[in-house]
Amino acid sequence: MGSKFEVALHLLHCTAMYSWIAIVIYLCVFAFAAPAAVNPIERYGWPVTILIYIWKCLPLLIVHTYLFQLVGFTFYNSFKQKVPLKIVPPNAPLVCFRVVTRGNYPKLVMENLILNIDTCNRAGMIHFKFEIVTDTVIDLSANPLVREIVVPYAYTSKTGALFKARALQYCLEDGVNALQDSDWIVHLDEETLLSENSVRGIIHFVSEGKHDFGQGLITYGSGKIVNWITTLADTHRVADDCGKLRAQLSMLHKPIFGWKGSYVVTRYGAERAITWDHGPDGSICEDAYFAILAIQAGHSFGFVEGEMHEQSPFSTLDLLRQRKRWLEGLLLVVHSSKIGILYKLPLAFVIYSWLLSPLTIVQFALMPLLNMPKNIGLDSIMAAILALNIYMFVFGAIRSFAYTKRSHMLKVIFCCIGACLTVPYTAVIQAFSVILFIFGRKKQFYVVKKELGPTKKKSAKVSPLQPEDGVSPPTGK
C-alpha cells in the first residue's frame, strides 16, 4: 500500500476529488433557481426537440471512460515515491530497449541513450541492451550494449506496412531479429527518458511474467520545458495514465480504450505472434491497432510501476497535427475489418465522441440559450464529467511537477492554476484536430519536432558497427 505519507496523500487526493465533484454538481444543478423553462415540444416541435436532446447527450458517449478514471483514481495510489526492487536482478530475463527513429535527431538519440544506459545501471538492471532502429545511420559509438539497425529503403513488409510499423516489423524478420521468445522488448520514443522507478518496475513485470504486454505512466514536466502551454495541456494525459489506463490494465488486463506507443513492454514471442504488419491502415496508430489485435488474440496486459519522462510538442501547430494523426489512425482501427466489433466497440465510442467534439463545444455555449427544462439526473452527470475533467488537469500537474528535482510548492501551485487555464485551449485543439482531419491530407505520419534548431539531415549509409546484420544501404527517405 505504501508508506503512511503516500497513503495520506492518496486519501487527501480522493477527498479533494469527490468534494470538488460534489461542489460542481451543486453549483451547476442545485445552487441557483432555474429560469422558467418553455415546453420544448411546443416551441421547437418533436423533431428538433429530439435532436436537441441527442445533442445534449453527446458527452454520454464516453461516460464509461470516466467511470474507469474514477476507479483508477480511487483504488490505485499514484503517489508512490519509490518502486521497490522485488526481484534479484541476475534472475531477471533479458530486456531489449528499442527506439525507432528516422535519424533526423542523432544528437538527441545519442544523449538519451547514454542517460538511459546509466539509469539502467543505477537501478541495478543487469540483463539489458538497446536497439536503435533508424532509417539513416546515426554512427553510434561502439558499445556492446547498443545495436544499431538500419532499415533498408527497399524493404517492404508482406502487407505494405508504413512508417514506424514498417521499422518495427523489419526488426521481427528472420536474419534481423536476435531475440528469443522469452526475451522482452521495451519500446521507447526518441525523447523518452527512463527513471530508476520505471526500470525497477520493468524488472518486476518481466520477472513475474504474468502478462505478455504492459505499460506505465509517462510524465511531461521533468526535463527542459520548451512550451509551457502544451506541457500543461498534456497534464490531462498524465492523469489519464494514473486513472483510466491503470484501471483497465490492472482490472480488465486489456487496454480496451487503446494505449500509447511508448513505454510499451512486450514479451518477444507474443509481439512476433501479433506482428506490426497490418498494412497502411495499421500504420498510422500502430500502437492501438496492435493492442486491440492482441486483445482479440487473447493476450493479457498489466500495468508497469514507475514513470518515464517525455517532452510535449514544442508548438501548438505540432500539438494539433499530432492529435489529428491520432484521430485518423484510431478511426482506421475502429473501422478495420480485421478486428471484431466487440473488441473495438469501447474505443469506437471514444473516437466518435472526439469526432463530434466541435458540436459538444458549441453545445456548451448555446445550450443555456435554448432554455430547456432541467433534468437533475442528466445535468448531474454532465456536471460530474466537467468537474472530473478539470480535476484531471490539476492532478496531472501535481503528479508531473511535484516529483521533479526542481519542484517547490509555489511552482506546483502555479502549474495547477496554469493547467486549469489550458482546459479551454485543450478543448479547442481537440475540436480543430477534427476539422484538420476532415479537410487535411490523409495517411500522413507527422512526427513532432524533438529538438530546437534546424533538423539535421544525414546521408544514408550502413553502420560499420553491425556488418553482421546483413543490412543493405537505404537509398534515402
CB 51 within 8 A of CB 217: no
Summarised one tens digit per residue, pLDDT across range 358-392 is: 999 988 888 878 888 888 999 999 999 999 999 99
Q: What is the mean pLDDT of the chain?
A: 90
The C-alpha atoms of residue 101 and residue 87 are separated, in whole angstroms, by: 32
pTM to 2 decimals? 0.91
- Going from the C-alpha of 257 to that of each of 247, 249, 295, 453, the distances in angstroms are 11, 10, 11, 36
Q: What is the pLDDT of residue 234?
A: 97
pLDDT over 70 at 468, yes or no: no
The C-alpha atoms of residue 285 and residue 163 are separated, in whole angstroms, by: 10
Domains of the chain: 13-77+351-439 (no CATH), 89-319 (3.90.550.10)
Q: What is the pLDDT of residue 89?
A: 80
pLDDT over 50 at 74, yes or no: yes
Q: What is the pLDDT of residue 37?
A: 66
The C-alpha atoms of residue 306 and residue 218 are separated, in whole angstroms, by: 9
Q: What is the pLDDT of residue 398?
A: 95
The C-alpha atoms of residue 451 and residue 234 are separated, in whole angstroms, by: 18
Mean pLDDT (whole number) for 24-35? 86
Summarised one tens digit per residue, pLDDT across range 213-228 is: 999 999 998 878 999 9
Mean pLDDT (whole number) for 146-168? 96
Summarised one tens digit per residue, pLDDT across range 42-66 is: 888 999 999 999 999 999 999 999 9
Q: pLDDT category, 153, cuts 50, 70, 90?
A: very high
pLDDT over 50 at 210, yes or no: yes
Q: What is the pLDDT of residue 2?
A: 63
Q: What is the pLDDT of residue 365?
A: 80
Mean pLDDT (whole number) for 434-461? 72
Q: What is the pLDDT of residue 462?
A: 35
Mean pLDDT (whole number) for 232-243? 97
Q: Give the Cβ contact number of residue 424 at 10 Å.
A: 11
pLDDT over 60 at 456, yes or no: no
184-188 sheet: strands from edge to edge: 146-150, 128-134, 95-101, 184-188, 264-267, 213-219, 301-309
Q: What is the pLDDT of residue 186?
A: 98
Q: What is the pLDDT of residue 469?
A: 34
C-alpha cell at 287: 500502437
pLDDT over 50 at 475, yes or no: no
Q: pLDDT category, 438, cuts 50, 70, 90?
A: very high
Q: Which of 9, 27, 23, 97 is nearest to 388 (CA)?
A: 23
Q: What is the pLDDT of residue 36?
A: 67
Buried b vs exposed e over 441-465: b needs ≥16 C-beta within 10 Å? eeeebebbbbbeeeeeeeebebbeb
Mean pLDDT (whole number) for 423-439? 96
Mean pLDDT (whole number) for 292-318? 97
> 184 - beta bridge partners?
95, 267
Summarised one tens digit per residue, pLDDT across range 98-117 is: 999 999 899 999 999 999 99
Q: What is the pLDDT of residue 116?
A: 98
Q: What is the pLDDT of residue 464?
A: 32
Q: What is the pLDDT of residue 460?
A: 37
Q: What is the pLDDT of residue 117?
A: 97
CB 236 within 8 A of CB 339: no
